[in-house]
Structure 1
Amino acid sequence: MSATVFLITGASSGFGKAIALEALRRGHKVIATARDASKLDQLKEAGAAVLDLDVAAGDESVAAAFQKAHAIYGRLTHVVNAAGYVLEGAIEESSQAEVAAIFATNVFGASATVRAAAPYLRQAVKQDGAQTAIASFGSMAWWEPTPAVALYCATKAADSMIMQGAALELKPFGIDAVTIEPGYFRTELLNSGTGVQRKITTAQTLDVYKNTPVEAVRNSLVAADNNQLGDVTKAARVIVDVLTRSGVAKGRSIPTRLVLGSDCVDKIRELMAETEKSIKEWEAVSRSTDHDQ
């Protein structure tokens, strides 16, 4: 049986690290990547190959990293893009450079990963009919823009659309594409300070946003840090099941969007109901804008 080979970006912490450990536990080959591969020592000790890969570095750099990764085992079957970060701050507080940086990692990085991965996944399918998949991370955040993190929400909305489009484009080649949409999970994403530095705060903080929803969200992120409902280890088991069509996913098709966490399920259902209510209220007005027949 041909090897199942995972390439995982953003594997130094959070979902990326948990998915890598779960895949290794099952005996799969794992190539773990991060901007600085020296932060991947734990995964290396667990049996992963490690590489430097900055998804925001541009097509040439990303393609070169994928070429090196492919050479390790001679194939890639599953690619998971877990690279990303939160930009905390009101839109007015954010500089154009900060906006460009978060889109470069969270959005352009996701599309660069699809571009780099697709040829290798096609090759694996063609060689031996391998079951292949590519995944990237959306978030509960894209379903409802939130003050103080609206730009992060925007990147997650873009990620979801990119992967839904990729699912349609890659399906004819036997490649599944999925957006993983978690609620609040207990990862390092909201950690701040030196070292992990997963929460990025805008350099400018305006007093005008005191006692507004922006300040309320800032405080809620601090309160939520390390107290999130979701268990990332449990989520990693489900993700690997889904991507390999095993365990809880055996006999099922890979969904275009994989929703994780009861908070995310509840939020989506709430927003679906609100959307249906709004459509009904405004339906006559909406339909009035058609050409007369």
Structure 2
Amino acid sequence: MIYTQMGVLAKEYQVVNGGTDFQHLVYTTEHPATAENMTPEQLDAFKRTRAPYAVYGLADGTGRADAEVTARTILFIDVDDAATDYDMVLGMLTGGIMNRYNFVAYPTIRNSVKPGARLRVGVELDRPATQDEYVKIWRVLGFALHVHGDEAGVTRQFKQLQGNYVRTSQNAHRQPLFNVIDTDPLPVDLFVQTYDSNPDQFNEAVAPRGKPDLRNDSTSGIPHYATTNKQLLMAILDPEQYYTLFGGWDNMLTSVGGWVYRQTYGDVGFTADVVEFVNSLGSEPIATKELSDKFKSWVRNWRY
């Protein structure tokens, strides 16, 4: 099934009928939405309210906050690597294991706004994959491709939306790649078996990057608290970019909340507003009721 919505803040999926899930992904990539002549700030606003998003798979409802995605029919790899070039990643896709499978690759809305390779790869699966199976396939592909991908949507929240291709003035010089001729869907069972044969090998290959050293910089003299404050401010301004510094989305939100709580001498209402705002900037924000329950738990442990 194909579930779509416009912007990350919408509350209801729209069901699209007709054609396969992968055909829909190919079509939206061939006929993209456009967001031209926009500043990075305007693009962020576009993402929140007007950019096209989709979930390809099986869900038990259409209310985004309440529905659970039980299986995926297209596997996505979000490449977000400042140290890798876009064309280099395309070369890895066409010259290796991926060459035999149906996939589409396209630049994300942040391509050429943020440095490095920023693209999304959608791979057709030969049957719907559960979250456990999906994680295993994702890790095998990450190992085989040697690229740094964002695993949050795989392990943190399985129902995370995937952004469809949006052509911008910044990414227009990067063309999508279609690998759909004389190729097949990726075989789920084979890749799951490959993972199960040696899980440690694949888990080590995609282990999260180490957190930066927050001790005093002996050269610049920058103290620990200043570096911590900088990271928290970056997370508030651009949580999708920096939440991995905290070890996950929930950890980032509670770190931001605890910091705001201390800085405002225990202003619970203001802290709740900040946490809710930062959460809303995510591609898959925590549902309002769930966030409220988490916040009540977090605030009991904060001190000022």
- Scaled by the length of structure 2, what TM-score is found? 0.28
- Name the one with the larger helix percent: 1
Give the TM-score normalised by the residue count of structure 1.
Answer: 0.29
